[in-house]
Every structure is written in structure tokens, then in C-alpha cells.
């Protein structure tokens, strides 16, 4: 586990140096060296039940080097949102707020 953490810290250092002029670089400069960043993704999935759709919420840690970042074992399933139709922006804002509170 420490080897992975060391790889993540090294990758973060590279991003911090190479991307310092970007918004992402500013975020890295403002946070602790032991912190990491994530990409949040969601997409709907059709089910056999036409009254239910599932919306998995996944995270990818940016500091895991490519191509490992996109391997299924590196993707974190944050949750699954079951809905009767396409989720509204208000619902997504509520879910993102809850995720933010848990990560903060």
C-alpha cells in the first residue's frame, strides 16, 4: 500500500510542476502534499424494469498514473442512484453536496 501512496505522491509532484499555470495546478498548490484529487463520473444504466434507471457514481483518483487510473480495480464506486426517470439537476446538486460533505 505504501508503494501505491508513494507513486501517487510522485505523480502529484509531477502534475504540480507541469500544470502550475492551470486551475488544477492552483488547486494542488493550495492543498496538503498528502491530499489527492478525484474525477467524479456518472451515467445512467437501463434496467429491465422500465420504471427504474440506475445512475452509478464513480471516482477516479487523478494521482494514480495512466493507464492504471482507468483499470476497474482503481475506480471507486461512490454509490448508485436509483430513479424512476432521468435525475434532475437539483437532485444531482443534492447528491454532490452530500458527497462533498463526506469527503471534506
Whether residues 22 and 41 share a domain: the answer is no
Whether residues 47 and 88 share a domain: the answer is yes
Strands (E), 15-74: 38-42, 45-46, 53-61
pLDDT tens digit sequence for 66-100: 888 889 999 999 999 998 888 889 998 999 899 88
Whether residues 9 and 51 share a domain: the answer is no
Whether residues 68 and 93 share a domain: the answer is yes
Report the predicted TM-score, pTM, of the whole model to 2 decimal places: 0.79
pLDDT tens digit sequence for 33-68: 888 999 999 998 878 888 888 999 999 999 998 888
Nearest to residue 9, comparing CAs of 58, 61, 59, 60?
Answer: 61
Residue 69 is classified by DSSP as: G
Can you give the residue range of the structural domain that contains 59? 37-104
Please answer whether residues 39 and 69 qualify as being in contact, where contact means their C-beta atoms are separated by less than 8 angstroms.
no
Please answer whether residues 55 and 80 qualify as being in contact, where contact means their C-beta atoms are separated by less than 8 angstroms.
yes
Amino acid at each position: 500500500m505504501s508503494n501505491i501512496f508513494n507513486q501517487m505522491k510522485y505523480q502529484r509532484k509531477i502534475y504540480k510542476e507541469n500544470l502550475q499555470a492551470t486551475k488544477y495546478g492552483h488547486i494542488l498548490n493550495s492543498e496538503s502534499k498528502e491530499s489527492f484529487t478525484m474525477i467524479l463520473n456518472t451515467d445512467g444504466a437501463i434496467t429491465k424494469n422500465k420504471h427504474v434507471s440506475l445512475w452509478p457514481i464513480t471516482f477516479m483518483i487523478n494521482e494514480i498514473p495512466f493507464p492504471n487510473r482507468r483499470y476497474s480495480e482503481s475506480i471507486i464506486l461512490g454509490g448508485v442512484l436509483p430513479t424512476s426517470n432521468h435525475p434532475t439537476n437539483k437532485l444531482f446538486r443534492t447528491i454532490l453536496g452530500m458527497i462533498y460533505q463526506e469527503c471534506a
